[in-house]
Amino acid sequence: MEIIESLKIKEKAYIEKLENGLTIIIIPKKNTNKKHIVWGTNFGSIDNHFVDPTTNKEVRIPDGVAHFLEHKMFEQKSGVNSLDKLMSLGVEPNAYTTNDHTAYYYECTDKFYEALDELMDYVQNPYYTDENVEKEKGIIGQEIKMYEDDPSWRLYINGLDCMYHKNEIKLDIAGTVESISKIDKEMLYSCYNTFYNPSNMLIVACGNFKPEELLKDIKERLIEKKDQGKIERIYEKEDETINKKYKEDKMPISIPLFMIGFKDNPNKEQKVKRHIAIEILLNILIGKSSKLYQELYDEGLVTTRPDTGYEFSKNYAHVTIMGQSKDPKKVEEMFLKQLKEIKNNGIDDNDFKRAKRKIYGDYVIEYNDVGDIARIFLSDYMKGVQSFDYIEDFDTVNKQYVEQMLKEVFDEEKMVMSVVNCE
C-alpha cells in the first residue's frame, strides 16, 4: 500500500488501487472507538451527458438520475431494506448525492464487520423493478416540492442561476418532477453499470484499523468486475461572465435571506492553495472578528455571522456568503465598501495573521473526528486534490498571494446577489 503522511498533524493515509480500478484509502486512528466507512462513486447531478465506455455512444439522461439511484440502492430483492437492517445493528447509516459524487456510509463503535457485509452487499447488488421505480417517483417528487418550498434552498439555487449560464451546477440535485418521470428501471441499471464500476469508485475508512487487515476484508467482499476505464463526461461550455446580477423571490418568512456570490474560474492551477487563500479572505472580510461583521451587528443588520464557503470541482468554482438581514441591500453596500477599502489599502498584518491561525485551527480540528476525515478524503478525491495538502501547503499561502486572490476572485464584475424577501 502507498503511504502518504502529514508530518504536521502526525496522520497517515494508506492507499491501494486494486486491479479492478477501485481505490481504497484507510486512515488509522488509534485513540478512538468510532469507525467510519464511506463508499463513493464519481456520479453526481452534473453527470447527465457522457460517453458509454462499453458502446462508445453518447448518452443523455434526465436530471436527477444519480439521486434517484441513491434512493433505490437500499431496496433488496429479498424485500429487506438495507438501511433498516443497518440501523437494527446499532450503526448510523445514510447516503447522499452531491453535484459530483454519490456516497453510502455508516459509523459505529460495534458490529463494524456485520455492517460491512450489508454495505458491500447492497452497493454491489442493485434491484430495480417497474413497480418500485414508479413508487419512488412519488416519494422523490414530494422531496423536490419540499425543497422548492425551502427558502434557504431557493436562495442558493437562485444564486447559482445568477452566476452560471449553462453549467449543470444550476440543476437541482434531485431533478424536477418532470425529469424524474422519464426514469425507468433499464435506465437505472444502465447508469449503475456505467458509474458503479469499481474504476469509478472509492472506499474511505477511518478508525482504529490495521490497514492491511481491513484491505484484505474489503477485497474478500468484492464481487469480481473488470476495470472499464475512464468515463468521458460532456459538460456544457460555460462563459466566464455571470448570467445575471440579481434575482429575488418572495416567500412566507419573517426575516429576508441574502446570498452574495462570486463566480470563479475552475481551470486555475494550485486549487488547494487558492482555496486556503479564499477561506482566509472570507474570514478577514466578514468573519466573526472582522470590522464589517461588528458594524453589521451593531447596526442590527445581522444577528449571526453569515455562512461562507468556497465550492469547486472540475468544472465549476464559486464563493458564497449567505445570511439573514432585515436589509440585504444595505449589507451588500457595506460589504462592497469594505471590499474596496481592503483592495485599496491592502490587508492589515494583524488581520492576516489572525485569520490564518483561525483557518489552520479549523483544518486541524477536522482531523479529530473519523466521519469528518473520511468525508474530506472522499470529497477531495472527487475534486482531484489530496487532502493532506491543505495542512502541508498552508505555510506557502502568504499575504502577497492572498492579496492577489482578493483582486482576482472578489471581482465586482463576477459578483451576484440572490435575495428571498418576506411576502
Task: Cite the active site residues.
Answer: 70
DSSP-derived 3-state class of residue 108: strand
C-alpha 291/C-alpha 252 separation (Å) is 32
Cβ atoms within 10 A of the Cβ of 275, count?
22
* Closest to 263 (Cα-Cα) out of 163, 336, 171: 163
C-alpha 290/C-alpha 300 separation (Å) is 16
C-alpha 298/C-alpha 294 separation (Å) is 6
- Work out the angle between the directed axes of helices 185-195 and 130-148 (0-180°, nearest 10): 80
> C-alpha cell of 144?
423536490
H/E run at residue 342: helix 328-345
CB 108 within 8 A of CB 132: no
CB 331 within 8 A of CB 302: yes
The residue whose grid cell reads 492507499 is 15
C-alpha 396/C-alpha 412 separation (Å) is 27
DSSP-derived 3-state class of residue 59: strand
CA distance readout (Å), 27 to 32, 91, 128, 162, 293: 12, 20, 34, 39, 38
C-alpha 247/C-alpha 258 separation (Å) is 10
C-alpha 16/C-alpha 14 separation (Å) is 7
